[in-house]
Amino acid sequence: MNIALIAHDRKKEALIQFVSAYTPIFEDHILFATGTTGKKIIEATGLPVHRFQSGPLGGDQQIGAMIANNEIDLVIFFRDPLTAQPHEPDVSALLRLCDVYDIPLASNMGTAEVLIHGLERGDFNWRTLDE
């Protein structure tokens, strides 16, 4: 599966802890991330991560384009609901595309826990059915 990992600044530590805790699961998949999130995940876990631009510089849109091209199977995006983002339209567009294409999306740790166990169990294998 192709997995997108994104976190706003005040959520990055939580995402790093999450990815570190589930490294044995994530290492069986192909990881993509916005710029700074990806850099921090690589530093903390050593996992290979394809990095895009930083979010405010277009990274959310690049991941959105992958979703539109059916190239992302799962999105884990720890958003900061308490801080205004200069690129809020890009954030909304990315979330919208997840809904347009029925891509599983976790926007917080609680949902991410459910999704990661579902991923491990094969719950998302339907994503590969028409390949």
122 has binding-site annotation: no
Active site residue 28: no
Q: Restricting to residues 92-131, which ones interact with ligand 13P according to CB under 6 A?
A: none
Does 56 help bind ligand 13P (rule: CB under 6 A)?
Answer: yes
Q: How far is CA 59 from the centre of its chain?
A: 11
Determine the residue with CB nearest ligand 13P: 55
What are the residues whose beta carbons fall under 8 Å from the beta carbon of 54, sequence distance 6 or more? 34, 35, 36
37 has binding-site annotation: yes
Q: Restricting to residues 7-36, which ones interact with ligand 13P according to CB under 6 A?
A: 8, 34-36
Q: Which residues bind ligand 13P (CB under 6 A)?
A: 6, 8, 34-37, 54-56, 59-60, 91
Which residues make up each annotated binding site for substrate? 8, 12, 34-37, 54-55, 87
The residues that are catalytic are 60
